[in-house]
Chain A
């Protein structure tokens, strides 16, 4: 029986949330294509993650082993996965668009000589038994429906586009060791150092509340003053639009959008951000959007639940003061 291969990830010994979501995406495809779900894990400590993958819907887990696999290294991961694909000949390969997935997805496709549909938000099987996916294009202004025309059919799927399946510890599956047998010469890039930056305050991706500033802030200062006061009062993290990063007001780590961080907080308050689809592509999972913008025609008012049409310099201090009294 043919397999659908999922490139899995392990986080601190546990199955990564993005991989559990990927299984949920893959399951209906496997049914339509009468195939099974296999997950490849490349972490040295993947035994409990393998069980977790099976309990969340996988039929088989490949534990890829090699002395060169340890901390993530692109070349080693690519060579291992290409070898697994060549030997197991899956009908389709799905990759989650995580940091690692975005790094290897496209290159893996080229290496095994097939095409890949990037950044999918929805995948299905069409009448010709081909995988078909919807993906945002033109900065999120349009949706394209794209069909895989070569095998293995590959798709890179955006995280947080599907809930993982409920775990069922009664499910059984096969766990297979796969020896990648890598030659040292495959390693081309050297990771010289990896630095973890302790971000002040709450991590943007994990924040339940976010305050974001855009071009309308008119300078870097408000990010340290009015916007920060508001964020501190709300217990929110601070983000920014690409425009604010491009001008150099705040570093790239603040950027929310198609080419920045993807966030899905309970509340996202946007100040001086017009709501271009490029930005909205990074925050479409937010539960509530609130906008302060002086342009009544700004796109953001189409997406927001509450809006204030006004100058932030007047609105924000009053808003912050009132919030302080309420909280």
Chain B
């Protein structure tokens, strides 16, 4: 029987986009990048790590299927296709006007959990530890609660053995190995190695693949399910004043020496 892995992937604004390109609607809790800047969104970095982790597990397990799920209202397909062209088998897009600007994790978790239930047969849900837009690190944890399955956050190694996921995770003091019965939800950090580049063969295969799309009704979500539990009432860029003293010198060696003297003078050393 095939081993089914579900990966959560999120389209986010490019974290490298300069703040000058931000267009903020504070009271709506909404941030977009100025469209004239032509800065394409990206798949969240930790989500790419999650796809990489899923593909590594698929290789280790042998007979496995990797399905990517994403929720939103405005997908850029050239960006999202990368999840498939990296080597995933299926893609599900949860797309609805009601899913725009998902900044309340309780709603996001609910709709992703509904999709996972609709897919039905899953052994493992893998997600990135955190998204680079709202930085909440809680959607996968919420999904585990809704599905009532075990959860291992921030793993750096996963091995599937005898119906369990054996995960290594970093702790403040070192690391721990946690064994969770399947199915379970696991989030990963950036220690699974560089996410693989799509091969030409996979890029062509991805181009032929049509994602499966579901809206709120198809997911069986009521307006009550989509009512917020937290609300962003303001959003702003904090002001910063530069007071940096640039250390001068004839050449870079002298700058280095002068920096040492300056640090001593300021009693930093």
Residue A124 lies at the interface, judged by CB distance under 8 Å to chain B: no
Residue A176 lies at the interface, judged by CB distance under 8 Å to chain B: no
A259 near B19: Cβ-Cβ < 8 Å: no
A266 near B246: Cβ-Cβ < 8 Å: no
Chain A hits for B225, CB < 8 A? none
Among B141, B237, B253, B259, the most chain A Cβ lie within 10 Å of the Cβ of B259
A327 near B269: Cβ-Cβ < 8 Å: yes
Chain A hits for B40, CB < 8 A? none
Query: What's the nearest-Cβ distance from chain B to residue A48, in Å?
Result: 23
Q: Mark contacts of B186-203 with chain A using CB atoms, 8 A cut-off: 1 yes-contact digit, 0 otherwise.
A: 000111011000000000
The 7 A-B pairs with the shortest beta carbon distances in the complex, nearest first, are: A115-B229, A318-B256, A106-B138, A197-B174, A322-B260, A110-B145, A319-B256
Query: What's the nearest-Cβ distance from chain B to residue A118, in Å?
Result: 4
A117's closest neighbor in chain B, by CB? B230
Residue B133 lies at the interface, judged by CB distance under 8 Å to chain A: yes
| Complex Cα spacing A317 to B255, Å | 11
Q: Mark contacts of A110-133 with chain B using CB atoms, 8 A cut-off: 1 yes-contact digit, 0 otherwise.
A: 110011111100000000000010
Interface CB pairs A-B, < 8 A, 13:
A116-B230, A118-B136, A137-B133, A144-B29, A191-B179, A192-B177, A197-B175, A205-B172, A259-B46, A288-B268, A308-B256, A309-B255, A314-B253
Query: What's the nearest-Cβ distance from chain A to residue B65, in Å?
Result: 24
Residue B231 lies at the interface, judged by CB distance under 8 Å to chain A: yes
Residue B224 lies at the interface, judged by CB distance under 8 Å to chain A: no
Which A positions have Cβ atoms within 8 angstroms of B? 74-75, 99, 102-103, 105-107, 109-111, 114-119, 132, 135-139, 141-150, 188-197, 205, 234, 242, 245-248, 251-253, 258-259, 266-267, 276, 278, 288, 290-292, 301-311, 314-323, 326-327
What is the predominant secondary structure among interface residues of chain B facing chain A? mixed
B24 near A142: Cβ-Cβ < 8 Å: yes
Chain A hits for B134, CB < 8 A? 137-138, 144
A102 near B178: Cβ-Cβ < 8 Å: no
B141 near A290: Cβ-Cβ < 8 Å: no
Chain B hits for A75, CB < 8 A? 150
Contacts A110-B145, A318-B257 given; indicate if A259 touches B252 (C-beta within 8 A).
no
B193 near A248: Cβ-Cβ < 8 Å: yes
Query: What's the nearest-Cβ distance from chain B to residue A320, in Å?
Result: 8
Contacts A115-B229, A195-B176, A252-B190 known; list 11 others, CB within 8 Å: A102-B153, A110-B145, A115-B230, A117-B230, A118-B138, A138-B13, A138-B132, A147-B230, A191-B178, A301-B242, A310-B252
Which B positions have Cβ atoms within 8 angstroms of A? 13, 15, 19, 22, 24, 29, 31, 45-46, 104-106, 109, 129-130, 132-138, 141-142, 144-146, 150-153, 156, 166, 170-181, 184, 189-191, 193-194, 228-238, 240, 242-247, 251-257, 259-264, 266, 268-269
B257 near A305: Cβ-Cβ < 8 Å: no
B231 near A315: Cβ-Cβ < 8 Å: no
Q: Which of A105, A149, A290 contacts B263 (CB 8 A)?
A: A290
Contacts A119-B135, A142-B24, A145-B232 given; indicate if A110 touches B191 (C-beta within 8 A).
no
| Complex Cα spacing A150 to B234, Å | 18
Chain B hits for A319, CB < 8 A? 256-257, 259-260
A145's closest neighbor in chain B, by CB? B234
Chain B hits for A303, CB < 8 A? 240, 242, 244
A193 near B177: Cβ-Cβ < 8 Å: yes
Chain A hits for B184, CB < 8 A? 188
Contacts A142-B236, A196-B174 given; indicate if A322 touches B246 (C-beta within 8 A).
no
A307 near B244: Cβ-Cβ < 8 Å: yes
Chain B hits for A242, CB < 8 A? 190
| Complex Cα spacing A291 to B193, Å | 29
Q: Which of A107, A136, A234, A307 contacts B145 (CB 8 A)?
A: A107
Q: Which of A143, A252, A305, A322 contacts B244 (CB 8 A)?
A: A305
Chain B hits for A106, CB < 8 A? 105, 136-138, 141-142
Query: What's the nearest-Cβ distance from chain A to residue B222, in Å?
Result: 16
Query: What's the nearest-Cβ distance from chain A to residue B255, in Å?
Result: 5
Query: What's the nearest-Cβ distance from chain B to residue A148, in Å?
Result: 6
Among B144, B152, B172, the most chain A Cβ lie within 10 Å of the Cβ of B172
